[in-house]
Structure 1
Amino acid sequence: MDVLNDILDTLNLKGALYFRTDFSDPWSVTVPDLYQAARFHLVVQGHCHVQFPDDRAVDLGPGDLVLIPRGRQHVLADAACETAPALETVLKDAGYRGDGVLVVGEGDPNATTQMVCGHYTFRNGADHPILRALPDYLVTSASVRAREPWLDEMLRLVVQRVFSEEMGSTAAVTRLSEIVFIELLRVGIGQSEELQMVLSAFRDRHIGRALQLIHSRPAEPWTVESLAMEVGMSRSRFAERFSELMGTGPMTYLSDWRLQKALSLLDDCRCSVQQVAMQTGYQSPAAFSRAFSGKFGLPPTEYRRNIA
C-alpha cells in the first residue's frame, strides 16, 4: 500500500486557497497563528520579505514559495520592518470580501507584488513523525523548481487556474495544492535532517516493509518480535533501526497510529465506539477509551458528541 497516502488521508490533509494579492510598495501584513495548519505563499511577480518572531527571515522572488508547516505567525512585507498591521486590519481596510484579488495600494500594476496565498489543514489532533520532523519553514526557490519538473508543472497549473477566474478554478487549485504539499515534502528533504530520516524510512527495505504492515493491518496484534520476523531482522536491530529513522519505537508508533485511525473513524463514519476499538486493535472498548482519553484528554464518546 501507499503508506504516505494513508498517512495524509488519515490526518485529513486539505488544501485551501484564501486569496491572491496585488500589493504596491510599501506594504506589510502580520499573518496570525493558524492551529493544525500549514501556510504557503507563492510569489508570482515582485518580491516578498518573510519575517518570523525569532528574527529569522527569508526573501522570496518570482517563482519562489515558502511553506510554513505549523502555521506560526509571520510578517509578509516588501522589506524588513519593525511593525506590520494585522491581516484582519489589512483585509478590512482593503474592503476584501473573500474572493478575487486582495489589492493594497495603487502603484504601477507592472511593479506590484502578486502572490498566491493558501493553507493546508489537518484533522484536529493530527500527529505523526512526518509533521513533527518538518522545520519551521521550507523554501522552494525558482532554481529548485527548475530541477523538479513535476513540482514546477504543478505550481504553474496552480497559478494558471488561480488567475483564470473560471468556474471551478478554486476547487481545482485546492486539489492541485494537495499534490504540491506532497512534492514539497520530497524536495524539502535537504532543509531538514529529521525529515530526511523519516522519509528515508519509507524507502528502507526493512522499515518500509514494517510500515506497510502496520498501515495495512493496524488491528493486528503486532509485537516488536513479530514485525522483526516479518521483515527479516533481529528484534534488537529492528527496534534500533526503526527508532533511528522514525524518531520513535515501533510499538509507540503503532499505538499512536491506531489512535490517529480512531480519530478518522470517529470523524468520518457511523461506527460505534466498540467497532472503532475493534478496527484499531484494542481488546475492549474500555481499553480503547483509556488510551484515547490519555492521548486526547477526553473519552471517544465525548469527542464524537463534540463533532456532531
Structure 2
Amino acid sequence: MDILDDILDTIDLKGSLYFRTEFSAPWAVTVPKHSQAARFHFVIQGQSFICVDSHHKVELNAGDLILIPYGSSHVIADSPKEKAPALETVLTDSGYRGEGVLVLGNGRQDHSTQMVCGHFNFRSKAEHPLINALPSYVVVRSGMRAQNPLLDNALRMISRITYESSIGSNAAIKRLSEVVFIELLRLGIDENGPKKSLIHALNDRSVGRALSLIHSSPEYPWSLDALASEVAMSRSRFAERFKGLVGKSPMLYLSEWRLQKALALVGDTQCSIQQVANLAGYRSPSSFTRAFQGRFGMPPKKYREEVRNERSS
C-alpha cells in the first residue's frame, strides 16, 4: 500500500486558489489565521517579504515559494513589516470580486510583484504526525528546485499557466499546487528535524512494514506482539524503533489512525455508525462513539450533520 497516498486521501488534501496578484510598491497585507489549512505564496515576478507570527521575516524573490503549514497569520509586503491592513480590508478597498488578478498600487506591470497565493485545505478535525511535524514555514528556493526536477517542473508550469485566461487555468494551478505540496512531503522538508524521521519511518524496512499493515487493515485486532512478530523484531526493540521514527508508540498510532479513518467514513460515506465502528476496528458502536467524542469533541452523528450542513451551505 502507498501509505502517503492513504494519509493524504484520508485527511482530504485539496488545493484552493485565493488570487493572483499584481502589487506595485508600496503595498502590504495581513493574511488572517486559517485553521485546517496550509497557505502558500509563490512569487512569479518581483520580490516579497513575509513575516510569520510577528517574528520570522523571510525574503522571497522570483521563483521562490513559501508554505505556511498551520494557517498562521502573516504579513506579506514590499518591505519587511510586522503590521499591515487586513486582507478583507485590502480586498474591499481594491474592489476585487474574487476573479482575475488582484491589483494594488500604480499598476505598472514591469515593476510589480506578481504572485500566486492559495492554500491547501484538510478535512475538518483531520491531522497526522506527517503534517504536525512540519516546521512553522518552509521556503523553496532555486537550490531545492535544481535538485528535484519534479518539484521544479510543477512550479515552472504554475508560472507558465498563471496569467493565461484559458479555460481551466485555475483548476490546473490548484492541481499543480497539490503536486508541489506532496512532493515537499516526499522529499522530507526539514532534513534535521522530526519530519525527516517520519519519511525515514515510511522507508524503514521494519517500521515501514508495520505502518503498511496498519494502513492496509486498520480494522484488524493488532497487538504490539502481533506487529513485532510480522516485522521479525522483539517486542521491545520494535516499540523503541517505531516510536523513535514516528514519534508515537505503535498502539497509540494505530488508535489515532483508526479514528482518522473513522472521521473520513463518517464525513464522506453513508455507512451506519455500527459499520464505521467495525471498519475502524471497534468492537461496539458505543465504544467507538466514546472514543470519537473523546478525540473530536462531538459524537459521530453530530460530526456527520455538521459536514453535511457545511457542504450544503
TM-score, length of structure 1 as denominator length: 0.97
Amino acid at match of 2:89: T
**In structure 2, how many angstroms separate the alpha carbons of the residues matched to 1:191 and 1:246?**
15
Amino acid at match of 1:77: A
Of 171-180 and 267-276, the range deviating more from structure 2: 171-180
Other-structure match for 1:285: 285
Other-structure match for 1:68: 68
Other-structure match for 1:210: 210
Q: Following TM superposition, by how much is the alpha carbon of 1:56 offset from its aligned partner in structure 2, in angstroms?
A: 1.4
Q: Following TM superposition, by how much is the alpha carbon of 1:307 offset from its aligned partner in structure 2, in angstroms?
A: 2.2
Q: Following TM superposition, by how much is the alpha carbon of 1:159 offset from its aligned partner in structure 2, in angstroms?
A: 2.1
Per-residue CA deviations over 1:133-165 (Å, capped at 9, x if unaligned) read 001000000222122111010111122222212
Distance 1:82 1:2, change over 3 A: closer
Which SS does the other structure have where 1:99 is aligned?
coil
Which SS does the other structure have where 2:190 is aligned?
helix
Matched, 1:254 2:260: no
**In structure 1, how many angstroms separate the alpha carbons of the residues matched to 2:35 and 2:82?**
25
Which SS does the other structure have where 1:189 is aligned?
coil
Other-structure match for 2:311: none
Gaps of 5+ in 1: none
Which SS does the other structure have where 2:85 is aligned?
coil
Q: Is the 8 A contact 1:25 1:107 kept in 2?
A: no
**In structure 1, how many angstroms separate the alpha carbons of the residues matched to 2:63 and 2:99?**
23
Other-structure match for 1:193: 193
Amino acid at match of 1:71: G
Per-residue CA deviations over 1:68-115 (Å, capped at 9, x if unaligned) read 000100000111125210011111111111011000011531111000
Task: Give every structure 1 segment of 4 or more consecutive aligned residues whose post-TM-superposition deviation is greater than 3 Å.
Answer: none
Which SS does the other structure have where 2:38 is aligned?
strand
**In structure 2, how many angstroms separate the alpha carbons of the residues matched to 1:124 and 1:82?**
30
Amino acid at match of 1:131: I
Distance 1:192 1:178, change over 3 A: farther
Other-structure match for 1:226: 226
Q: Is the 8 A contact 1:162 1:173 kept in 2?
A: yes
Distance 1:102 1:192, change over 3 A: farther
Q: Following TM superposition, by how much is the alpha carbon of 1:18 offset from its aligned partner in structure 2, in angstroms?
A: 1.2
Of 247-256 and 170-179, the range deviating more from structure 2: 170-179
Of 77-86 and 189-198, the range deviating more from structure 2: 189-198
Question: 1:135-284 maps to which residues of 2 (within 5 A)?
Answer: 135-190=135-190, 193-284=193-284
Amino acid at match of 1:157: M
Of 102-111 and 224-233, the range deviating more from structure 2: 102-111
Question: 1:2-21 maps to which residues of 2 (within 5 A)?
Answer: 2-21=2-21
User: RMSD between aligned alpha carbons?
Assistant: 1.2
Amino acid at match of 2:275: Q
Of 119-128 and 296-305, the range deviating more from structure 2: 296-305
**In structure 2, how many angstroms separate the alpha carbons of the residues matched to 1:217 and 1:273?**
19
Which SS does the other structure have where 1:120 is aligned?
strand
Q: Is the 8 A contact 1:140 1:188 kept in 2?
A: no
**In structure 2, how many angstroms separate the alpha carbons of the residues matched to 1:252 and 1:162?**
43
Other-structure match for 1:81: 81
Per-residue CA deviations over 1:36-58 (Å, capped at 9, x if unaligned) read 00000000110010012341111
Which SS does the other structure have where 2:109 is aligned?
coil
Distance 1:54 1:81, change over 3 A: closer
Q: Following TM superposition, by how much is the alpha carbon of 1:186 offset from its aligned partner in structure 2, in angstroms?
A: 3.4
**In structure 1, how many angstroms separate the alpha carbons of the residues matched to 2:82 and 2:150?**
38
Per-residue CA deviations over 1:230-269 (Å, capped at 9, x if unaligned) read 0111110000011001110000000000000001001111
**In structure 2, how many angstroms separate the alpha carbons of the residues matched to 1:66 and 1:103?**
21
Q: Following TM superposition, by how much is the alpha carbon of 1:34 offset from its aligned partner in structure 2, in angstroms?
A: 0.6
Q: Following TM superposition, by how much is the alpha carbon of 1:122 offset from its aligned partner in structure 2, in angstroms?
A: 0.3
**In structure 2, how many angstroms separate the alpha carbons of the residues matched to 1:173 and 1:291?**
39
Of 175-184 and 55-64, the range deviating more from structure 2: 175-184
Q: Is the 8 A contact 2:278 2:284 kept in 1?
A: yes
**In structure 2, how many angstroms separate the alpha carbons of the residues matched to 1:55 and 1:175?**
31
**In structure 2, how many angstroms separate the alpha carbons of the residues matched to 1:45 and 1:107?**
14
